[in-house]
Chain A
């Protein structure tokens, strides 16, 4: 998927994360987390694999994590990407690219 416009999803509440995607050249990830030392590597891997599944190759992605589980990270990244395309409201490929 192409990142057509800047979009965000999530919150800064505990157990959540705020993901922002912007149009860009190549993939840039800016990650900050309240549990960076323990889980930074895993969070990064989850975000990158989610972007890969969605076919996002060019984007600038900012993740501010407040201790989100993997399933929450995925949900927020996916929602932000679909929002950037204006396609987040219907016909989501549940179980396909979103899984």
Chain B
């Protein structure tokens, strides 16, 4: 049986690729694509009369397939269905890294899932607190309650918006400039940053529209998202490219971290690097750039 290492609450999550947990052909080699996380889906991708079969398939995939350093998250069915409790049992028993709460609307939803996860951790002898959580916001209510959701639990690592359902609620459709979800994305980002967790954008469903996809990913990066949900392996590469720091940003970050270490040893708090004022506030950002650069294979130093 494969035992996965303890999940890291904050790690690189540029790409999360959805896969139907019921399709053995898909999930058996999902790690080869190189996405940061895979999202095994028990919810919408699985037909109502195959929910049971998907769990058996998921359990054996989790316990026999070595996904290596690819994070394994499971999207469970909504709290308004008869499925979510057994979904949680199988996720915890199988050792999934995290659970994505579908249609999350309040901190109470997070607490409900958290209680069931803890119960399952005790039932299956899993370390209490091991299983991480993230929430998908799919309704206006979810967006309005984003901050209480983001800060509801120490297990929460991130929050994502689900475009399809959200646009339906708002009586709008996909717009190339993103104006349909601008307010929602902004509100969710504010909430996630205020709570100190990660934030992910929705899927882009038109696989033939490469220009549209690129535009959306560029906007995601500009708005400050950590990553994006994907539906097809061919989308991974562009997201990794766009989210990678530039060579200049890496050199700058390296300089800042190095200068900060030297200056603080000498008792100096604020100083300049290449004519720009630098103090302790710049360090987390610079370190984040280096970490990202390392993950992208662009930096090999030891400051990350």
Interface residues of A (CB under 8 A from B): 9-10, 13-16, 68-72, 74-76, 78-79, 82-83, 88-92, 94-95, 98-99
Contact = CB atoms under 8 A, between A and B. Distances in A.
Given A70-B64, A71-B65, A99-B1, A92 B55 contact: yes
A13 B23 contact: yes
Contacts of B90: 92, 94
Interface string B57-69: 1011101110000
Contacts of A79: 52-53, 56-57
Interface residue range, chain B: 20 to 34
A65 to B, nearest CB: 11
Nearest to B28: A69
Contact of B63 (A16, A83, A99): A99
Contact of A13 (B25, B83, B93): B25
Given A94-B93, A94-B124, A76 B23 contact: no
A69 B60 CA distance: 10
A42 B25 CA distance: 19
B303 to A, nearest CB: 41
A82 B90 CA distance: 15
23 contacts: A13-B25, A15-B25, A69-B28, A70-B64, A71-B63, A71-B64, A71-B65, A75-B57, A76-B56, A78-B56, A79-B53, A79-B57, A88-B53, A89-B83, A89-B86, A91-B86, A92-B55, A92-B89, A92-B90, A94-B59, A94-B89, A94-B124, A95-B93
B304 to A, nearest CB: 36
A75 B28 CA distance: 13
A91 B60 CA distance: 16
Contact of B57 (A70, A72, A91, A92): A72
Interface in B31-85: 51-53, 55-57, 59-61, 63-65, 82-83, 85
B52 A88 contact: yes
A78 B86 CA distance: 16
B24 interface: yes
B94 interface: yes
A72 B57 CA distance: 6
Contacts of B85: 90
B59 A98 contact: yes
B104 to A, nearest CB: 22
A72 B23 CA distance: 9
B51 A89 contact: yes
A54 to B, nearest CB: 12
Given A71-B60, A71-B61, A79-B56, A94 B25 contact: no
A56 to B, nearest CB: 15
A13 to B, nearest CB: 6
A92 B90 CA distance: 8
B60 A83 contact: no
Contacts of B82: 89
B53 A75 contact: yes
A71 B23 CA distance: 12
A48 B83 CA distance: 29
Contacts of A92: 55-56, 86, 89-90
A15 B57 contact: no
A90 B83 CA distance: 8
Contact of B94 (A78, A90, A94): A94
A15 B90 CA distance: 22
Interface in B161-219: none
